[in-house]
Amino acid sequence: MSGLRFQLDIYIDEDPTGTLVAGVKIPTALATKIPTIRQAIRDLKAYATKINAGKPDEEMTVRATYHIDYHNEVPPKPCGANQDI
């Protein structure tokens, strides 16, 4: 059976003049949209199922997370823990 699969990996640079969201200042124009984006992701998850559920090749396709990324820090630090959306 066919299905529609979404995979997103998006990095937003910190903006010192932006709005604080989850511990990071991001552009205010985006920060105001975060609640709507999170709700849209939750709505998608409500319809999501695992690919090949219960089989040896099962794929976890019912997840959405975010974390704070510190790779551009000097010196680099480990990323923050994944948080569910």
| Contact status, residue 70 vs residue 32, Cβ threshold 8 Å | no
Residues ≥6 apart with Cβ < 8 Å to 41: 64, 85
Residue 76's pLDDT band (cuts 50, 70, 90): confident
Question: What is the pLDDT at residue 73?
Answer: 85
In the chain, where the domains are located = 19-84
Q: How far apart are CA 77 and CA 56, in angstroms?
A: 35
Residue 63's pLDDT band (cuts 50, 70, 90): very high
Mean pLDDT value across residues 54-78: 91
Question: What is the pLDDT at residue 71?
Answer: 84
pLDDT at 31 over 90: yes
Mean pLDDT value across residues 42-63: 93
